[in-house]
Amino acid sequence: MKKTKMLSGLLAVVLVFGLALAGCGSKVQGEPGDAVLGCMESFKAMDFDAMANYVSKTEEIQTLKDEFSSEDLDIVKMVLKRATFEVVSTDKASDGKTAEVTLKITNVDMNEAMTVAQENLMAWAIEEAAKPAAEQPTEDEIMAKTMEMLDAAISAEDAKTLSSEVTVPTAVEENKWIVTDLPDDVLNALAGGMEL
């Protein structure tokens, strides 16, 4: 009798545990828009480890991480620092396993910002050219000044912005929504209208 009670109790625990696992396995975490926003914010921060949580091609993220120098990261962060993201709509497939997320990306118009930075850099270069040769800026100083002026143009309160609505495909993988691709129009919108 004691053995039967113990077996019944054990069987009940196993059944409850099994049902709980089955329930956990079928529940999809989050929403497609959450995955897209997480991916975009991770990209904006150049946080490759966080980005890997939101994409299907994690090996490509590792390759990017390995190829980007700290200077590259600084430039991308500067270009993206004012980017904002808003989910406009989500269109889930009838099977619930794929969805297209319409995302509004707003960023500084980088073509305009680069024009402003170039004009300011030319004015600075003309002033520097009038100095004696020993006081002329080095190549590193010119590059630093270029980045400083581009950053100032991007950071300006009156900097022109562009907004684009783009479609980002998502799918369920391992019970969570992930971004399956970042089409060129997404990357161009992130880059403030520059064609990449």
Contact 61, 128 (CB under 8 A): no
Query: Which pLDDT score, from 0 to 100, does residue 64 have?
Result: 76
Least Cα distance to 31 among 138, 172, 157, 164 occurs for: 172
Reduced DSSP (H G I as helix, E B as strand, rest coil) percent helix, strand, coil of the chain, to 5: 55, 20, 25
The residues near 130 (Cβ < 8 Å, ≥ 6 apart) are none
Closest CA to 169 of 90, 63, 106: 90
Rounded-to-integer distance, Cα 68 and Cα 62, Å: 10
Q: What DSSP assignment string belongs to 107-139?
A: EE-HHHHHHHHHHHHHHHHHHHHTS-GGGSPPH
Q: Choose the CATH number for 28-104+160-195 among 1.10.238.10, 3.10.450.50, 2.40.30.10, 3.30.559.10.
A: 3.10.450.50
Distances in Å between the Cα of 103 and the Cα atoms of 17, 130, 166 are 40, 49, 5
Q: Is 86 left (phi over 0), alpha (psi -120 to 50) or beta?
A: beta
* Phi-psi sector, 170: left (phi>0), alpha (psi -120 to 50), beta: beta
What pLDDT score does 61 carry? 76
What pLDDT does residue 196 have? Answer: 60
Query: Tokens for 120?
Result: 């300011």
Q: Is the pTM of this model over 0.85?
A: no
Q: Are 80 and 106 in contact (CB under 8 A)?
A: no
Give domain limits for the chain: 28-104+160-195, 109-158
Q: What is the pLDDT along the chain (196 residues), one digit of tens a residue?
A: 433 333 333 333 333 333 232 333 346 788 999 999 999 999 999 998 898 889 887 777 778 778 888 888 898 899 999 999 999 999 999 998 999 999 999 999 999 999 999 999 999 999 988 899 889 999 999 999 999 999 999 999 999 999 999 999 999 998 999 999 888 898 889 989 887 6
What integer pLDDT is reported at residue 70 of this predicted model? Answer: 87
Handedness of CA 185, 186, 191, 192 (dihedral sign): positive
pLDDT at position 195 is 72
Spacing of C-alpha 103 from chain mean position: 12
pLDDT score at 68: 81
